[in-house]
A = this chain, B = another copy of it.
Amino acid sequence: MSDNEKAVSMAVVRRLPRYYRFLSELLSENVVRISSRELAQRMGVTASQIRQDLNCFGGFGQQGYGYNVAVLLEEISRILYVKDSAPTILIGVGNMGRAVLTHLPFELRGFSIIGAFDKSQSIVGSRVGSHTVAHVDTLHDFCLRNKPLVAVLCIPKEAAVTLSAQLIEDGVRAFWNFSHYDIALNHPGVVVQNVHLGDSLMTLSYLLHHPENSGSAERE
């Protein structure tokens, strides 16, 4: 971590992937430079928000010249470690696990999937993407040999309770958690990013009935 990153708040960090997406798009459209005003318009935020966010990292804009798209994208990639290959396993290759495994470009986001596990005999041994699903009983040995740092949990809450404890003991330090088990609450030392699709759906339900709130929701 460089000195100028120290003060970055999580609110800013959470916005960086969105900058990353929009800048990737600009780059693919061969846009070389963009002003904070144009970028703001495109992203539906204010120019001052953009300047403020990017200033956290020392700013990369030059007054009157805007941002160099490739340089800024490169810098955000560095901050988010998207070129890293953190050894990652996925547990639970049901519908959600299968979708996550095939849908998301882990290797372009800083992760490298090195194993997929399930307990169902009908799934174990099958191929999903470039992976052969192994039995979850082999997980402990796999961890000792391959030392995964990250686990994606696409399993029910009850299974997540025991498995996360075992994985932490076996060296896993971060979880991408699709289960409803609150890992961080019980293991304060590990890194957890929760994906609660049900919560998102319930927020949509609220917004459907309170459309006047919709704009503010979208930008967070």
Contact = CB atoms under 8 A, between A and B. Distances in A.
Contact of A82 (B16, B94, B185, B205): B205
A188 interface: yes
A12 B23 CA distance: 31
B191 A207 contact: yes
Interface residues of A, number: 71
Nearest to A103: B96
21 contacts: A10-B216, A13-B206, A14-B199, A17-B196, A17-B202, A44-B184, A44-B185, A80-B206, A81-B209, A84-B209, A96-B99, A96-B103, A103-B197, A105-B198, A110-B205, A176-B204, A191-B208, A192-B217, A192-B218, A193-B201, A193-B217
5 smallest A-B Cβ distances: which pairs?
A: A110-B205, A17-B199, A99-B99, A193-B204, A17-B202
